[in-house]
Structure 1
C-alpha cells in the first residue's frame, strides 16, 4: 500500500462465517487479516498475535485470509474504468492478472488471474465486470492491448486509448501487487492458481479499505 496508508478500514466488513471451533477471538482474527493484506508479512502478523498472548502458525493466518473470502463490493457506477493486464509469477509458471480500477477513486473493481492471455479471456473478464458493476455508460481507458480493445468492442463499450494519465491508477495497483508477491513469497510460493486468485481478490478488498 502507499506509505501514508492507514488501517482505517471497517473491521465489521470482514465476515468470519467460516469460524466453527476456532479458539482465537474473532476480533484478533480480523486484526490479523487486515494488516497482513495491508502489507504485513505472515511472520510479523504472527508476532502481533503473540503480543496478545496468542500463538498461531503462519499457515493458520494464511488460511484465515482465504476462508474469509474477501472481495471488492459490487454495485459501483464509475464514469471511467482503467483496465489492464500484467504478468504474475506463480511458482515457476506465468499467469496473467486482469484488473479494472476506478481512476477517480483508485478503487479496484474486479480482478481475475488467468493462465494465458487471449481475446476469449478478456471478453469473459469484461462480462464479469459488467455483472458486478454498472459500467455500461463508462468510458474504458485501455492501452494498445488488442484483446482489451476487442473485448470493449464486443461488449459495445466505449473506450479510449490512454497510455498514461488516468491509467496510472491501475499501474500503481500492479506495482504494489508485484512488490507484495516479490517481498512476501509465501503468498504465492507452492500455491495453487485458485489460492493466488483468492488472495488477489482479498488484496483488492484491503486496497479499497485503505485508499
Structure 2
C-alpha cells in the first residue's frame, strides 16, 4: 500500500468526538496527533501547524492526543503472542510496563502500566488481553519472569520459554517506547501514572498504524 494511503487510513481512524468548539481544522488536528505519536516532538508538531497558518501551543496538541482516547484495535486472533515486562521510570518512581505483541505482524495487542510487579497484576493483564483478543489457542512466548509464567498457567494458556527469536518483537516495542519518552531514555517526566498509561495506549495505536 502506498505511504500516503497508509497515512490517510491512519487519519481516518482518529475520532474527534471530543471536539466542541475548536478553530483548528479537523484534518490538521488529526495530522498533528498522528505526527506526534509517530515520533515528532510537540514543539516540531506546533511548527508544522504554523506552516498552515495555525498557531497553537504545545499543551493544546498534547490535550488533543489525550482526549482522542486512542487504543489498539480489539479482536485479533494471533497464533503466537510475545509477552514481556520492563521498568519505566515515572518521575522519581519505578513502574512496570506490561506489553503483548503479535510477533508475526509486530502489532501491539495490549499494554498496561502498573506500580509494581506481582503475580496478581500479571494475571489481571492476561485477563484484559483475553477480553480484547482471541488468544486462548495461541502459544505465548515468555522469558524467565515468574509472574508471566504463573499467569499463563492460571489462565490455562500454552506457553514456552523463548529468550530471543520471535520475542524480539516485543523488545523492539520497548526500545521505541523508551526512545519516545520525554528524556529519550527510560523516563517520563512531569506526568501522572494515568497520563503515562493513556500515552502508551495512544502510542500502541500509532505503532500499529505505521508498522
In 2: Cα distance, 1:156 partner to 1:16 partner: 40
Tell me the TM-score normalized by structure 2: 0.94
1:183 shift after superposition: 4.2
1:148-179 superposed Cα distances (whole Å, 9 cap, x missing partner): 00000000000000000000000000000001
1:189 shift after superposition: 1.9
Tell me the TM-score normalized by structure 1: 0.94
| Residue 36 of structure 1: aligned partner | 36
In 2: Cα distance, 1:113 partner to 1:21 partner: 32
In 2: Cα distance, 1:152 partner to 1:101 partner: 15
| Residue 16 of structure 2: aligned partner | 16
Unaligned runs of 5+ in 2: none
In 2: Cα distance, 1:17 partner to 1:118 partner: 37
| Residue pair 1:98, 1:111 contacting (<8 A) in 2 also | yes
| Residue 46 of structure 1: aligned partner | 46
Unaligned runs of 5+ in 1: 1-5
In 2: Cα distance, 1:140 partner to 1:119 partner: 16
In 2: Cα distance, 1:38 partner to 1:183 partner: 16
| Residue 103 of structure 1: aligned partner | 103
| Residue pair 2:182, 2:189 contacting (<8 A) in 1 also | no
**Deviant stretches of 4+, over 2 Å:** 6-9, 182-185
Q: CA RMSD in A?
A: 1.3
| Residue pair 2:183, 2:189 contacting (<8 A) in 1 also | no
SS in 1 for 2:36: helix
Describe how 1:197-208 pairs up with structure 2 within 5 A: 197-208=197-208
| Residue 82 of structure 1: aligned partner | 82
SS in 1 for 2:116: coil
| Residue 175 of structure 1: aligned partner | 175
| Residue pair 1:41, 1:184 contacting (<8 A) in 2 also | no
1:188 shift after superposition: 3.1
1:26 shift after superposition: 0.6
In 2: Cα distance, 1:189 partner to 1:175 partner: 18
1:182 shift after superposition: 4.9
Describe how 1:186-201 pairs up with structure 2 within 5 A: 188-201=188-201
